[in-house]
């Protein structure tokens, strides 16, 4: 299995995962702004896009999952109880998606949103906004369907996973070096917390520092209804 991050700007990360033997591919958390880059990468390498996967319903960008399904015929995969429309493959906890000979195991991890999942490959853990690198902590839980208590309880999922897994996050500051799960256990402040009260206080502090999500009024309805708006302010 090979993987790489494709987005050329911003903090959102999209991963192209390729099964080397079959040349079948998946895109994890593709962003509509970069859909032409994804299609070019697939075509140049002769890859078959089997899955476009959203780890959750995003509030800070428009997903490219349904656009990719329309253009390539791939499956649009999300958690089985998501409110987002036009999903063609509903994921279940513990399900294993086979990308050629490469397994991608689904872990249901609600908190940042109620439909959040993690994807575990043999070498990587794709965490969306559930877990960030080091001091980035985790994603904020004050957006639609987010629940601080659920996020805290879901963190126990990480306890049973191999520390050598590279943590492939949905966001991180530019130039943040990728680290494995064991490194994050030792360096991510959230993973060192021992009580819900401590986590809740951290969430309150981080939410206050981040302020409002500027793209939410455009991005969230687009993702829920699977419709590209006629006007996308940040792309004009």
CA dist., res. 17 & res. 76, Å (int) = 15
Asked if residue 232 belongs to a domain, the reply is: no
Place of tokens 């981040």: 210
203 — pLDDT class (breaks 50, 70, 90): very high
pLDDT digits (tens, 9 = 90+) for 43-59: 999 999 999 999 999 99
CA dist., res. 37 & res. 225, Å (int) = 24
End-to-end CA, the chain = 37
Total domains in the chain come to 1
Q: Which is higher by pLDDT, 57 or 8? A: 57
Asked if residue 91 belongs to a domain, the reply is: yes
| CATH number reported for the structural domain that contains residue 149 in this entry | 3.60.15.10
Asked if residue 206 belongs to a domain, the reply is: yes
Asked if residue 135 belongs to a domain, the reply is: yes
pLDDT digits (tens, 9 = 90+) for 93-130: 999 999 999 999 999 999 999 999 999 999 999 999 99
In this prediction, residues 57-72 reach a mean pLDDT of 96
In this prediction, residues 192-213 reach a mean pLDDT of 94
CA dist., res. 224 & res. 83, Å (int) = 6
Asked if residue 197 belongs to a domain, the reply is: yes
């Amino acid at each position: 299995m090979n993987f790489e991050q494709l987005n050329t700007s911003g903090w959102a990360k999209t991963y192209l995962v390729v099964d080397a033997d079959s040349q079948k591919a998946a895109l994890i958390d593709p962003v509509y702004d970069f859909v032409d880059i994804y299609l070019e990468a697939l075509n140049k390498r002769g890859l078959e896009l089997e899955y476009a996967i959203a780890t959750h319903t995003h509030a800070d960008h428009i997903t490219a999952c349904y656009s990719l399904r329309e253009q390539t015929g791939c499956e649009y995969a999300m958690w089985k109880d998501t409110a987002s429309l036009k999903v063609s493959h509903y994921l279940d906890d513990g399900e294993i998606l086979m990308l050629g000979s490469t397994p991608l195991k689904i872990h249901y991890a609600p908190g940042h949103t109620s439909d959040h999942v993690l994807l575990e490959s043999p070498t990587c853990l794709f965490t969306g906004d559930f877990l960030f690198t080091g001091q980035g902590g985790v994603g904020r839980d004050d957006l639609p369907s987010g629940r601080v208590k659920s996020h805290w309880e879901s963190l126990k999922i990480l306890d049973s996973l191999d520390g050598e897994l590279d943590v492939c996050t949905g966001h991180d500051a530019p130039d943040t070096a990728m680290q494995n799960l064991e490194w994050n256990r030792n360096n991510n402040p959230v993973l060192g917390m021992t009580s819900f009260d401590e986590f809740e206080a951290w969430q309150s502090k981080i939410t206050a520092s981040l302020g409002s999500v500027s793209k939410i009024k455009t991005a969230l309805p687009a993702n829920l209804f699977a419709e590209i708006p006629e006007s996308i302010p940040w792309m004009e």
